[in-house]
Amino acid sequence: MNNRTTVLAAVFGITTAFGMAQQQSDSLNIEQLDEVVITDSKFKLKRENSGKVITKITQADLKERQGQSIAEIISTTAGIEINGVRSNAGQNLSYFVRGGRNRQVVILIDGVQLSDPSQISNDYDLRLLNSNQVESIEILKGASSTLYGTGAATAVINIKLKEAAKDKVNIAINSSFGTNQAEDNSDYRIEDFRNSVSLNGNVDKFNYLVSFGHQFTDGLSAIASGTESDAFNSYNGNVKFGYKFSNKFKVNVYASIDNFKADFDDSFGMIDTDDVSETDQYRFGLSSEYKYNKGSVTVNAAYNNVERDIMSGFPSQFNAESITVDAFNRYNFNDKFYTVLGVNVQDQNMEQFSIPFGSNDFAQAIDPELAKFTNIDPYANVVYVTDFGLNINAGLRLNNHSEYGSHLVYSINPSYKKDTNFGYIKGLASYSTAFIAPSLFQLFDPSFGNVDLDPEENATVEVGIELGLEDKGTFSVVYFNRTEDNFVDFVDTGNFIFQYRNIGESFTASGFEFTGNYKFSNTFKIAANATYTKVDDDLSIRIPELKINSRLDYKPCDETLLSLSYQFNGDRDDVFFNTTTFASETVTLESFSLLDFYVSHNVLKNRMTVFANISNILNEEYQELLGFTTKGRNVTVGFNLNL
């Protein structure tokens, strides 16, 4: 394995010698300098005028990553490690962004924040999302609570679902199949099937989209020592209708049903079991926009219901509801001064059922009349773009939480861009604060909850520089430093009793992110990113100190793409409970390197593309999670067809 790592490191070294690179989209593909971004201000601004380094993953990028989940694609972004994407398909996902945790990441879908109030971290589960239904993704790192509220401490992941095509009738079909095996298996059985179909179009002022997706994956045991495979089965249905009343006013309504069923094993005893987790999500929403002279009013609203059933030795059931409304007014004074005034409302509740000791029937363990909260947050944000290169993005938000009262968060983000004869050079800095309310599970769980928890507070500093090379590429380096106060941890209070508690001391996470891309010609381009993260020991579990992604794209002709990707993850700490000493112990997981190859060919121009992907080409043996199965070399082939 060491020889393989050396070879791969040499490959990476050669690529960086040509110009270590990664597109600002970190999707490892070139960006154009006139690209616009919206997540950091809610306005469409040129990326070069943004004071942030924003990841933009376009539809073209997603087409070049077919056969992968959204979580896998996002995990190639600088500063982000999504743990669980290299394991059994049903493995729980952990979002580590700049040394943070799930509860510090906000996920938006079509402008509406999604969460699961019954989850420990109140986070949205990306396993519920079908990648073929996604149009694009923007990722904004750093504290962004002024625009996106509680929880937006390390990142906002803004996912836009596909919209209707311009034709009256369009049918899109995507299908792939492949292997799903561990490093010590080489039978290459077909165990992974992914299919989706979409019917959409535009008729006068009316547009429509109906889509369905399905995934079935088997072949791997959840635990490394297991002998029985654990299947993952999911489906996604999505309906969207829109009507454009005039050039000034349009409305979209949508509904979706998402489900997954994941087999899993006993992770405490590390033994094969027939445990099953099933999650159903029902989502309904509306988005509307009214444009007027120099401005617009937008209202995004959604109702989300999640039902989760855990069938194991400790069975439980969860029901969670959330209503989110985000209404804001955008006003452009003179193409230099942009303002956003808005109010965000969130109402959430959860219910839990468990089987008491000595009983065979479920009983209510958490009452939704108690486990609920409401947020009503007014906010304001301004962007000022000067003629001499100075840009300022600043905002305020007053979090009004029904349990914790009012908390003011704010951000200031100046940047300065200097045009040059080769492109531009930009310096940026920011200081932003964030407010993170404890989850309903952390407050009200009958075994581990603590109603006396205080909210966490984060403050983030960023300083960076970006270089844009006209028609060639971009490079950037960013330093970040985040402090956390009132950190909520799972604490052993003695006598084997655990509870969620606030930690009195402050914690710090800091590091550097490098991103860049370079286009040598229309046939060859290279992209890469590297992240160094330093986290206090108490927060470092499963977070690599060094992570590198790189990718080389070669197009021998307009119809064919050949792509070679490399990923390095440094040593990480993990924890296990020693059943002999009855104490938690820390173990270091060794670093690993992965090499993937992707090829696609356009058989019918703008109609049909076939593709193939080989992941972990060298069949690297490694551990992503201590004691759990990790994928080895696997092959996927598929096609997409537009009619």
- DSSP H or E segment with residue 31: none
Report the alpha-carbon distance of residue 422 to residue 403 in Å, rounded. Answer: 54
Cβ atoms of residues 256 and 281 within 8 Å: yes
- The pair of structure tokens assigned to 243 is 């009507």
Whole-angstrom Cα distance, residue 50 to residue 59? 21
How far is the C-alpha of 540 from the C-alpha of 26, rounded, in Å?
Answer: 24
DSSP strands (E only) in 51-101:
55-57, 80-83, 94-97
The structure tokens listed for 78 are: 């600088």
Residues 488/500, Cβ–Cβ less than 8 Å: yes
- Of 431, 439, 531, 435, nearest to 482 by C-alpha is 431
Structure tokens at 533: 């993260």
Question: Which residue bears the tokens 């309504």?
Answer: 253
- The pLDDT of residue 4 is 40
What range defines the domain where residue 468 resides? 2-642
pLDDT the model gives residue 10: 35
For every residue of 52-85, DSSP letters joined together read: S--EEE-HHHHHTTTTS-HHHHHTTSTTEEEETT
The pLDDT value given to residue 54: 85
Q: What is the pLDDT of residue 559?
A: 93
Is the separation of the CB atoms in 220 and 230 below 8 Å?
yes
Torsion angle, alpha carbons of 78, 83, 86, 90, to 10: -140
- Of 522, 430, 532, the C-alpha closest to 40 is 430
How far apart CA 41 and CA 35 sit, in angstroms, is 15
Give the SS3 label for residue 59: helix
Residues of the chain short of pLDDT 70, as ranges, are 1-34, 582
State in Å, rounded, how far the first CA of the chain is from the last one.
Answer: 46
pLDDT at 1: 41
Tokens representing residue 603 in the block: 């058989």
Q: Are strands 473-485 and 507-519 parallel, antiparallel or unpaired?
A: antiparallel
Q: Are 619 and 641 in contact (CB under 8 A)?
A: no
Q: Are 587 and 571 in contact (CB under 8 A)?
A: no
pLDDT tens-digit readout, 210-240:
999 999 999 999 999 999 999 999 999 999 9
Q: Indicate the residue type of 435.
A: F
Question: Is beta strand 583-589 parallel, antiparallel or unpaired with respect to 592-604?
Answer: unpaired
Cα distance between residue 238 and residue 236, in whole Å: 7
Sign of CA dihedral 358, 275, 494, 362: negative
Element (H, E) at 121: none
The per-residue pLDDT for 34 is 58
**Per-residue confidence (pLDDT) for residue 28, from 0 to 100:** 41
Number of domains in the chain: 1
Classify residue 87 by its DSSP letter: B
Name the burial class of residue 513, with classes exposed (0-12), middle (13-18) and buried (19+) by CB atoms within 10 angstroms of its CB: buried
CATH number of the domain that residue 512 is part of: 2.40.170.20
Question: Phi and psi dihedrals of 127, rounded to 5?
Answer: -65, -15
Nearest to 84 by CA among 264, 308, 329: 264
Give the pLDDT score at 47.
Answer: 79
3-state helix vs strand vs coil in the chain, percent to 5: 10, 60, 35
